[in-house]
């Protein structure tokens, strides 16, 4: 057997923090042959990014390699000095980072930044380096490369910035590329374009790639070997087909199940049955149960939102929602989906159109006065980042009690106490956590507080604005199950805003696809996902990374 | 809100934890407490009358009888220093309190609401900021008359734009925060959101500014009286004491300037260090 | 070409938008000055004992008998013509007085700012590069102490040590030794004028007079500058693009000088502008301590004599300088940060 290009043996890394030493890696071993693609997947805090940074020697001051060995091309680089690392970085091993805009120097032209990398490793004149930089920009498929080389990062889109980082990483033809969440934060269609580019270029140039990601679908599609990390250890490593088809480790199985795919259902997201199995099966949800003649829960007619600077966020959007129905609102960033959610919850004033809630026009009530309107109780919202949507100075108890105090006029006392505890129990939040502040809760617990707060005053319509976007998949699975159960138990109407078609399909009967503020397509969700009528919807569906055990991983790349 | 009651014991525990890990803050707290105590008890602590002159004892260097020496009129410098602490601290505290209350509320509403009110206040603040602030204070004290309360108003006004701007930006960055929208969804109106949510959240940051500002306010008041504005001659006040001693420094009589100067420095130092420490204690995100 | 035009538009826009602020300052000063106690007509007629006729004549001469709005309009018209009125204490036009004294103030302020920047930038950078090191502790100590020290005390203590104890500094009064010959008035900046006429001895004497007051001022502003440099350098060094630069194998000095420092200096530019404006106001204390014949002490004397015109002129001057400084900072920032050049 030949020596692998990169081999990591029993690597241990710890960080010294104010509260003592924290072990981030507890014996990680992996091997990557020349030209191979290894996926490193795991949830937040699993140590996957630390592994890639340790290989690069880029751990911050607090981090230290306490044991193990990193070999590159047979050479031990575990404790390489600055000089040795400088020769290695960029020339032999290079890295592509998450958040490409921040990864580029904001005040230098992108062409200069690429040329600088070239000159750091090769004896080139300035003019030669600039010429090669433009060629590299062309190689990462940037049109009009000579002009783009003069641009500053803020003048380019996120996807474009990531191409530039890729160009920098490839500049000196390294033999190994470490890609640390290279597409997180990018839209799904951009993500596909960037990943295809990265995969094609590394394959054409015979580079090996270590792809660090939280997205199992992404790893399955682009890697020929996938390693799963949990709490600083690799629990399982196998080719994607085997790993996702027949996971051997319990954690892998849980992770694979939690990851929404084309055929998963809410119930199948967790291997074991949900904590409180609902009585009614998924097939008999609320919408059919509302007797004819009941007014619509929500009717939106020709809704528009224009800003004074001329941008049109929402343009002529109309839809209806039955009591107890769940409607998905899907789109990429800038599609106006969050604006619609703010307009419907009456946190933002529309520039045109009507919003009818249970037959009453609420669009006409100014947002600043809506807190006094009786419908305030009826329409509530759950926000995207639960951590950011909880008042940092409120305990969980206060956050849940807040709407009860303002809208129900409840005073501190036994009644309020009981009510808040009931709410917490409904969303599965242990009573002991009610005294905690948001920063003392985990992501999933914060999401539960956010949901409990929205449900405390028993609204009829709940707007969910990407409620699980900031959560790990296993937490997302549990929260989705909770939301589905609550809806069926209470006959709530959901307006579910998300960028993830798979999630929307599971939770919603109908889906609306938005693009640049306009409705592209709407219809029954399973139909829309399997037989989209519009080209844009089809593109969205195709861009979702998925693992299909039967398909060879390279097939998806080849067609790009 | 019960946040305060349920948060109190952990807050105290957290304060203890921060102080143990940060002896400088503890020292600053102790220093501030001592300073306030000395100022409060000054009338009963002073060894000599701070105003009565005694020409026979003029210009004595520090000795056992006069720890900090005497000035050109034979007055005991220690006694004048203690009585001066009373005045300087009172001026600084009331000026900062005034500008904080007005500035934070106005700034917070402007930052939350935007619109014409924000623009109008912004213009006013621009005008104030275009003044050399210390000169503005000088002019105001001169215009309003040489009285202590006018120093307070002048100091408060020159600090006002600062608080308005600070509160405005701090609120503006939080205006779109999820928890603010959540508060609106929970039925809070404008006043409720600003006073109940935004102000308490920017308070730790403002507390730091207040503490630093107390230091500046003391320097400002002392600077005014050093120039002969605001407080008049026999009153014991640190700035005046430095001004009176200035004439003798080229003759080597250092104690007239050094002790009030040192007192000023220590007071400002305590407030500044306290500001940094307060931030660690008040921010619940630092608490675990 | 386009860059130049955009810059010109920017300058124009900034100047235009600062007009209301300057106008506000002028009106506010005018009103405050009119509230000042003491009737200047009485003051300049030689006290209350002067004849009522004489006082009334002075009132008419000074325009004090007209209603307030008319006085204000007259004042604004005069300003537009470049006439700031006449000082009653010196008997000269305020413009002339200020023109004579402004170089003294500017020489002091600019020297102090230069000294402060020369010390603060390296200290702040070194502290940020080695957090927790001896340099870092020294910088943090200096910053803490620097903010606490009132200029009028630190100035006097410097005089005590360097003039009385050590005898290194000359008599701390004025810009130039009483027995020394002044250079011919070219720019009004003594150091420049002496250098222009090639008078080495005079230059050294002027520099010796300048060193203590400018050090006093520099100590005062060292703290905010060093603190900001350190904080901004630390923030930039923790940034993603620094990690990228390292990951691409750029040499260490290049990462620090080209990537970190240039970005870290952006907020330092802003704070330098603020510091400069603060110094203009705080000048008055240092000028008083060192009997420096600058504009601030001129205004203070006028203020104590209820002499309106110089004070109004001084405040207008300060506001204009403030606007100009902001403009320069803005332009510098626009050059240094492509994101700001909109």
Longest C-alpha distance within chain A, in Å? 80
Mutating which of B179, B196, B201 best tests the A interface, going by the most A Cβ atoms within 10 A? B179
Question: Which residues of B fall within a CB distance of 8 Å from C161?
Answer: none
Mutating which of B178, B180, B287 best tests the A interface, going by the most A Cβ atoms within 10 A? B178
Tokens of A69: 């060995």
Distance CA C276, CA A84 (A): 45
What does the pLDDT read at residue B9?
A: 61
What is the average pLDDT score of chain A? Answer: 87
User: Around A505, how many Cα atoms within 13 Å sit in the side-chain half-sphere?
Assistant: 19
Å from A445 to nearest chain B CA? 16
Distance CA B33, CA B39 (A): 10
Give bridge partners of residue A7 from the DSSP assignment: A31, A71
What does the pLDDT read at residue B280?
A: 66
Contact A453 B182 (CB under 8 A): yes
Å from C313 to nearest chain B CA? 12
B3 vs A: CB within 8 A:
yes
What does the pLDDT read at residue B141?
A: 84
Contact yes or no for C185/C303 (Cβ under 8 A): no
Domain carrying residue B236: 10-42+71-286
With respect to residue B213, please indicate whether it lies within any of the assigned structural domains. Answer: yes
From A91, A102, A108, residue closest to C249, measured CB to CB: A91
Q: Which of A27-36, A311-320, A482-491, C303-312 has the lowest mean pLDDT?
A: C303-312
Q: Which chains touch B (3 or more CB pairs under 8 A)?
A: A, C
The residues near A237 (Cβ < 8 Å, ≥ 6 apart) are A30, A225, A226, A227, A228, A243
- Give the model's confidence band at C50: pLDDT under 50 very low, under 70 low, under 90 confident, else very high: low
With respect to residue B60, please indicate whether it lies within any of the assigned structural domains. Answer: no
Domains and CATH numbers, chain A: 6-266 (3.40.50.300), 315-542 (3.40.50.300)
What does the pLDDT read at residue C147?
A: 79
Give the mean pLDDT of A443-449. Answer: 91
Contact A106 C259 (CB under 8 A): no
ipTM of the complex: 0.80
First to last CA, chain A: 33
With respect to residue B172, please indicate whether it lies within any of the assigned structural domains. Answer: yes
Contact C249 A88 (CB under 8 A): yes
Tokens of C186: 């070219």
Q: In terms of CA atoms, which chain C residue is nearest residue B131? A: C319
Residues of C with CB under 8 A from a CB of A: 238-241, 243-252, 254, 258-259, 262-263, 266, 336-339
| Cβ neighbours around C91 below 10 Å, total | 8
Contact B250 C164 (CB under 8 A): yes
Mutating which of C241, C257, C336 best tests the A interface, going by the most A Cβ atoms within 10 A? C241
Å from B183 to nearest chain A CA? 8
Give bridge partners of residue A228 from the DSSP assignment: A41, A236
With respect to residue B235, please indicate whether it lies within any of the assigned structural domains. Answer: yes
Distance CA C279, CA A262 (A): 67
With respect to residue B47, please indicate whether it lies within any of the assigned structural domains. Answer: no
Tokens of C220: 């005062």
pLDDT at residue A559 is higher than 50:
no
**What backbone torsions phi and psi does residue B21 show, to the nearest 5 degrees?**
-80, -5
Distance CA C131, CA A266 (A): 50
Q: How far is CA C169 from the centre of its chain?
A: 24
What does the pLDDT read at residue A280?
A: 41
Q: B23-45 and B255-282 are packed helices; what angle lies between their axes, rounded to 10 degrees?
A: 130
pLDDT at residue B6 is higher than 70:
no
What does the pLDDT read at residue A288?
A: 46
Give the mean pLDDT of C311-339. Answer: 83
Condensed to tens digits (0 to 9), the pLDDT of residues A67-117 reads 999 999 989 998 888 888 888 999 999 999 988 889 999 999 999 999 999
- Give the model's confidence band at C32: pLDDT under 50 very low, under 70 low, under 90 confident, else very high: confident
Residue A117: which of A101, A99, A136 has the closest Cα? A136
**What backbone torsions phi and psi does residue A357 show, to the nearest 5 degrees?**
-115, 120
- Give the model's confidence band at C260: pLDDT under 50 very low, under 70 low, under 90 confident, else very high: very high
Contact A105 C241 (CB under 8 A): yes
With respect to residue B169, please indicate whether it lies within any of the assigned structural domains. Answer: yes
pLDDT at residue C111 is higher than 50:
yes
Number of domains in chain B: 1
Helix or strand or coil: residue C335? helix
pLDDT at residue A276 is higher than 60:
no
Mutating which of A383, A385, A394, A438 best tests the B interface, going by the most B Cβ atoms within 10 A? A394
The residues near A522 (Cβ < 8 Å, ≥ 6 apart) are A319, A510, A511, A512, A513, A528
pLDDT at residue A285 is higher than 50:
no
Give bridge partners of residue A360 from the DSSP assignment: A357
Distance CA A237, CA A260 (A): 21
Give bridge partners of residue A180 from the DSSP assignment: A212
With respect to residue B101, please indicate whether it lies within any of the assigned structural domains. Answer: yes
Give the mean pLDDT of C123-139. Answer: 87
Condensed to tens digits (0 to 9), the pLDDT of residues C55-86 reads 777 777 767 777 878 888 888 888 888 888 88
- Give the model's confidence band at C320: pLDDT under 50 very low, under 70 low, under 90 confident, else very high: confident
Tokens of C284: 């008055």
Burial of C243 (0-12, 13-18, 19+ CB in 10 A): buried
Question: Which residues of B fall within a CB distance of 8 Å from C35?
Answer: 143-144
What does the pLDDT read at residue C43?
A: 63
With respect to residue B65, please indicate whether it lies within any of the assigned structural domains. Answer: no
Question: Which percentage of chain A shows pLDDT scores above 90?
Answer: 60
In which order are the strands placed within the sheet that holds A360-361?
A: A312-321, A298-306, A352-357, A360-361
Give the mean pLDDT of B63-92. Answer: 85
Give bridge partners of residue A306 from the DSSP assignment: A312
What does the pLDDT read at residue A558?
A: 34
What does the pLDDT read at residue A234?
A: 94
Tokens of B270: 């305590």
Distance CA B144, CA B149 (A): 10
> Where residue B101 sits, what CATH number does that domain have?
1.10.3720.10
Give bridge partners of residue A518 from the DSSP assignment: A515
From C238, C243, C248, residue closest to A120, measured CB to CB: C248
Tokens of C189: 């900046």
Domains and CATH numbers, chain C: 102-299 (1.10.3720.10)
Condensed to tens digits (0 to 9), the pLDDT of residues A47-59 reads 999 999 999 988 8
Q: Where are the alpha helices (DSSP H) in A110-245?
A: 110-121, 126-139, 145-148, 158-170, 188-204, 216-222, 240-245
Pairing status of strand A352-357 against strand A298-306: antiparallel
What does the pLDDT read at residue B18?
A: 67
Condensed to tens digits (0 to 9), the pLDDT of residues B204-229 reads 788 878 887 888 889 888 888 888 88
């Amino acid at each position: 057997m030949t020596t692998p290009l990169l081999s990591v043996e029993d690597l241990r890394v710890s960080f010294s923090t104010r509260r003592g030493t924290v072990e981030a890696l507890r014996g990680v071993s992996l091997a990557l042959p020349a030209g191979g693609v290894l996926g490193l997947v795991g949830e937040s805090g699993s140590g996957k990014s630390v592994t890639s940074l340790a290989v690069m020697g880029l751990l911050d001051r607090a981090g230290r390699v306490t044991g193990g060995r990193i070999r590159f091309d047979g050479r031990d680089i575990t404790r390489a000095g600055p000089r040795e690392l400088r020769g290695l970085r960029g020339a032999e091993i290079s890295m592509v980072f998450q958040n490409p805009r921040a990864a580029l120097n904001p005040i230098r032209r992108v062409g200069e930044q690429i040329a600088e990398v070239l000159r750091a490793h090769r004896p080139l004149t300035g003019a030669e380096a600039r010429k090669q930089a433009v060629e590299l920009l062309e190689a990462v498929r940037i049109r009009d490369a000579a002009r783009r080389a003069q641009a500053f990062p803020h003048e380019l889109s996120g996807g474009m910035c990531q191409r530039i980082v890729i160009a920098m990483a490839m500049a000196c033809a390294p033999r190994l590329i470490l890609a640390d969440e290279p597409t997180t934060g990018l839209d799904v269609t951009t993500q596909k374009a960037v990943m295809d580019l990265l995969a094609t270029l590394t394959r054409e140039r015979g580079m090996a790639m270590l792809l660090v990601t939280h997205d199992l679908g992404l790893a399955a599609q682009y890697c020929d070997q996938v390693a799963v990390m949990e709490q600083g250890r690799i629990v399982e490593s196998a080719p994607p087909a085997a790993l996702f088809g027949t996971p051997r480790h319990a954690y892998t199985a849980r992770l694979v199940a939690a990851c929404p795919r084309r055929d998963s259902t809410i119930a199948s997201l967790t291997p074991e049955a949900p904590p409180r199995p609902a009585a009614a099966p998924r097939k008999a949800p609320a919408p059919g149960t509302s007797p004819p003649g009941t007014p619509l829960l929500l009717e939106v007619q020709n809704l528009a939102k224009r800003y004074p600077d001329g941008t049109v966020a929402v343009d002529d959007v109309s839809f209806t929602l039955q009591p107890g129905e769940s409607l998905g609102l899907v789109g990429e960033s800038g599609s106006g989906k969050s604006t619609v959610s703010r307009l419907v919850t009456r946190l933002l004033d529309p520039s045109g159109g009507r919003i009818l809630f249970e037959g009453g026009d609420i669009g006409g009530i100014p947002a600043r006065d809506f807190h006094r309107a009786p419908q305030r109780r009826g329409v509530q919202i759950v926000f995207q980042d639960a951590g950011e949507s909880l008042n940092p100075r409120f305990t969980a108890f206060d956050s849940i009690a807040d709407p009860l105090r303002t809208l129900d006029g409840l005073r501190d006392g036994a009644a309020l106490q009981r009510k808040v505890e009931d709410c917490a129990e409904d969303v599965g939040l242990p009573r002991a956590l009610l005294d905690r502040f948001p920063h003392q809760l985990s992501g999933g617990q914060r999401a539960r507080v956010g949901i409990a707060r929205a449900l405390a005053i028993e609204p009829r319509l709940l707007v969910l604005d990407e409620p699980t976007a900031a959560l790990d998949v296993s937490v997302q699975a549990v929260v989705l199950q909770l939301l589905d159960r609550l809806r069926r138990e209470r006959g709530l109407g959901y307006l579910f805003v998300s960028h993830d078609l798979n999630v929307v399909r599971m939770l919603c009967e109908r889906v609306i696809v938005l693009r640049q503020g306009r409705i592209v397509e709407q219809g029954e969700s399973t139909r829309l996902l399997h037989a989209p009528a519009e080209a844009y919807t089809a593109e969205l569906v195709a861009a979702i990374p998925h693992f299909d055990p039967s398909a060879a991983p390279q097939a998806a790349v080849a067609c790009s | 809100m019960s946040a305060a009651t349920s948060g109190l014991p952990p807050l105290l525990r957290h304060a203890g934890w921060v102080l143990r890990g940060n002896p400088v803050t503890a020292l600053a707290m102790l220093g501030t407490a001592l300073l306030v105590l000395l100022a409060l008890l000054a009338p009963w602590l002073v060894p000599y009358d701070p105003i009565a002159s005694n020409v026979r004892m003029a210009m004595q260097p520090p000795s056992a009888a006069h720890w900090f020496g005497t000035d050109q009129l034979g007055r005991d410098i220690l006694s004048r220093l203690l009585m001066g602490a009373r005045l300087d601290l009172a001026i600084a505290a009331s000026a900062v309190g005034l500008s904080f209350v007005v500035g934070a509320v106005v700034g917070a509403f402007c930052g939350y609401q935007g619109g014409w009110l924000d623009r109008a206040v912004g213009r006013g603040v621009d005008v104030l900021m275009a003044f050399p602030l210390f000169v503005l204070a000088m002019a105001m004290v001169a215009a309003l008359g040489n009285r202590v309360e006018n120093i307070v108003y002048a100091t408060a006004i020159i600090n006002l734009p600062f608080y308005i701007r600070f509160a405005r930006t701090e609120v503006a960055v939080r205006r779109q925060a999820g928890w603010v929208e959540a508060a609106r969804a929970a039925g809070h109106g404008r006043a409720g959101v600003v006073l109940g949510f935004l102000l308490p959240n920017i308070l730790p940051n403002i507390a730091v500014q207040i503490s630093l500002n107390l230091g500046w306010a003391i320097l400002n008041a002392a600077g005014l009286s050093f120039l002969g504005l605001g407080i008049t001659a026999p009153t014991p006040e640190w700035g005046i004491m430095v001004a009176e001693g200035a004439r003798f420094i080229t003759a080597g009589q250092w104690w007239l300037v050094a002790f009030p100067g040192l007192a000023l420095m220590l007071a400002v130092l305590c407030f500044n260090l306290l500001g940094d420490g307060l931030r660690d204690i008040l921010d619940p995100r630092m608490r675990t | 070409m386009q860059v130049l035009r955009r810059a010109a538009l920017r300058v124009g826009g900034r100047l235009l938008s600062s007009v209301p602020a300057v106008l506000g300052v002028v009106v506010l000063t005018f009103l405050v000055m009119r509230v000042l106690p003491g009737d200047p007509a009485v003051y300049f007629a030689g006290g209350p004992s002067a004849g009522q006729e004489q006082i009334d004549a002075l009132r008419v001469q000074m325009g004090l008998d007209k209603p307030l709005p008319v006085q204000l309009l007259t004042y604004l018209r005069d300003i537009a013509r470049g006439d700031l009125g006449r000082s009653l204490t010196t008997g000269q036009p305020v413009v002339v007085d200020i023109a004579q004294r402004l170089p003294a103030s500017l020489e002091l302020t600019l020297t102090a700012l230069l000294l402060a920047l020369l010390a603060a930038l390296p200290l702040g950078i070194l502290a940020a590069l080695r957090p927790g090191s001896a340099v870092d502790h020294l910088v943090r100590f200096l910053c803490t102490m620097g903010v606490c020290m009132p200029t009028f005390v630190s100035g006097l203590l410097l005089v005590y040590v360097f003039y009385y104890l050590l005898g290194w500094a000359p008599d701390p009064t004025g810009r130039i030794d009483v027995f020394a010959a002044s250079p011919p008035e070219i720019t009004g900046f003594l150091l420049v004028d002496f250098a222009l006429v090639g008078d080495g001895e005079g230059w050294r004497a002027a520099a010796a007079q300048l060193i203590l007051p400018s050090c006093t001022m520099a100590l005062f502003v060292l703290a905010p500058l060093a603190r900001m440099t350190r904080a901004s350098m630390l923030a930039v060094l923790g940034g993603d693009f620094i990690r990228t630069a390292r990951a691409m194998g750029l040499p260490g000095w290049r990462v620090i000088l080209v990537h970190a420092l240039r970005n870290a200096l952006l907020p330092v530019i802003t704070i330098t502008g603020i510091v400069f404006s603060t110094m203009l106001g705080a000048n008055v204390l240092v000028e008083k301590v060192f009997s420096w014949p600058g504009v601030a002490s001129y205004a203070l004397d006028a203020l104590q004599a209820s002499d309106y015109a110089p004070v109004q002129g001084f405040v207008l001057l300060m506001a204009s300088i403030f606007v100009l400084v902001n403009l320069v900072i803005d332009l510098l920032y626009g050059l240094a940060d492509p994101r700001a050049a909109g």
